Amino acid sequence: MNTTSKKKRSVVIVIASIAATGGLLFGFDTGVISGAIPFLQDYFQLTDSQVENVTALGLIGAVVGALITGRITDYLGRKKVILASAFIFATGAVWTGMAPTVNQLMISRFYLGLAIGVSSFAVPLYISEIAPTKIRGTLVSMFQLLITVGILSAYLSDKAFANNSNLESWRPMLLVGVVPAVILFVGMFFLPETPRWLMSKGREEEGRKVLGRTEDPEFIDVVINEMKRDIDIDKSQASWKEIFKPWLRNALIIAAGIMFFQQFVGINTVIYYSPKIFLAAGFEGAEAAIAASVIVGVVNVFFTIISLFVIDKLGRRKLYFIGVSGITIALVCMGLGFMIPGAGKWFLVISMLVYIAFFAISLGPLGWLIITEVFPTRVRGLGSSIGSLSNWGFNTLVVWTFYKMASAIGNAKEVVIPEGKVLSDVCPSCVGSVFWIFAAVALIGLVWGYFYIPETKGVTLEEIEEHWRQGGKPRKLKMK
């Protein structure tokens, strides 16, 4: 690589890292609430259902955020929408941290949720459109990396500020979120709009300039010509209805499908409930269980870093199959860990870490990457927001049904829960069975992936669009 190319690489890496701070906020704000809840509950004297509302309102905010802003990113541009989300993140962190009443806490969590939903699709979208084709996978995966760093920071922040003699410990836990939000806001202010969005609005000169700073020289002309051609074709077509046209059906199935499998292999039951799962597996004391969750967080970050190095080399399909196969086996072992009394708690812990590792190299980054790759420029904002919306919808469904599924299995087995005990105390195998359900879903995901996961490595976003226009099958897409 010559010096100019190296300089360009550094510029885009800096751009992508700043934008990816949106991922850190996503991870932090979804993760931080778990450690804050015990304090909040005592401080405001909340009932369990009020606690559920505080948690759920954040997720509902994310669904609404993803739902209403897809089109706006196509109209106003990617940058303005991310700036707006950074503003909400910053003010939302202050508002939640200082909330005087429980009602304000709920409204402010919803408000913060909006930013989580918006940034979860606008940030990867921005990075994928600004990234040079050859390293697009790596750069978008930085978003996932920062999600995992955000989750880990949330665990650590919860640990650092938890003080049993101070019922207001939850305030600093939530307030620290303002720091990454300000970094995102200030950083984003200086970043350019994406060349693809500029070109689609007829601002060719500006688009060329940005592309000149970021894309590999060998791709600049190809990309510009392809963009122009696509824009010409797009001009004559209706906008939002476009996304439901038959030629984009596969893109929609891919975006919603990958998010379905990302969530229905049960990732967030491990991310949100790992302390509880560790206790159910026989670890004694909340502290040991929380420490075990920190290990989960660290493994998650570490293997996401590995994915950055391999995603543009091995490609999306290989990573998907390696990852989902590993996830399936690990889930079967996790189920066994709960089922067989003599299996030992370490067997369970190791299976869980293996599970996280395989998720972190595959479904984690691939979900957020692929939803930004499969749609044409004019509806990419809307398309990615549908992917993100599916993610939050499925996430809520899985987290909400996890214990319900376990108790349904308990009821079927006629397990009686004595006073003061919970289901996982008396029937760990009921919890274990749910992991087998997730394993079955992962197995179906392997078959689905064979037909629907496209190999987008080294393919320009315009070539992907062209492939759909010609009626190409997802699995037939590859680098020319």
Interface residues toward ligand BGC, by CB under 6 A: 144, 147-148, 151, 262, 267-268, 271, 300, 364, 367-368, 391, 395
Q: Which residues contact 167 (CB under 8 A, 6 or more apart)?
A: 39, 42, 43
Q: Which is nearer to ligand BGC, 271 or 353 (CB)?
A: 271
Residue 333 C-beta: closest distance to ligand BGC, Å? 20
Rounded Cα distance, 269 and 279, in Å: 14
Q: How far apart are CA 154 and CA 150, in angstroms?
A: 6
Nearer to ligand BGC, 267 or 353 (CB): 267
CB of 18 to ligand BGC, least distance (A): 20
Nearest approach, Cβ of 209 to ligand BGC (angstroms)? 33
What's the gap between Cα 272 and its chain centre?
Answer: 14
Instruction: Name the residue nearer to ligand BGC (CB basis): 44 or 394.
Output: 394
Q: Considering the complex, what minimum distance in angstroms separates the CB of residue 30 from ligand BGC?
A: 7
Q: Could you tell me if 409 and 423 are in contact, meaning their C-beta atoms sit under 8 angstroms apart?
A: no
Write down the least CB distance from residue 295 to ligand BGC, Å: 14
Non-local (6+) Cβ contacts of 111 within 8 A are 61, 88, 91, 92, 95
- Smallest distance, Å, CB 144 to ligand BGC? 5
Residue with the CB atom nearest ligand BGC in the bound state: 364
Distance CA 227, CA 225 (A): 5
65/367 with CB nearer ligand BGC = 367
Encoded tokens for 287: 């502290």
Chain-centroid distance of CA 26 in Å reads 8
Distance of closest approach, residue 300 Cβ to ligand BGC, in angstroms:
5
With 0-12 / 13-18 / 19 or more C-beta atoms within 10 angstroms meaning exposed / middle / buried, residue 141 is: buried
Least distance CB 217 / ligand BGC (angstroms): 33
Choose between 19 and 423: whose C-beta lies nearer to ligand BGC: 19
Q: Which is nearer to ligand BGC, 17 or 268 (CB)?
A: 268
* Between 259 and 332, CB nearer to ligand BGC: 259
Cβ closer to ligand BGC: 381 or 393? Answer: 393
Is 459 buried (19+), middle (13-18) or exposed (0-12) by CB count in 10 A? buried
Q: CA geometry: angle at 397 spanning 395 and 398, to 5°?
A: 70
Query: Within 281-376, where are the H helices?
Result: 286-310, 316-339, 345-361, 363-373
CA triple 233-234-240, angle to 5 deg: 155
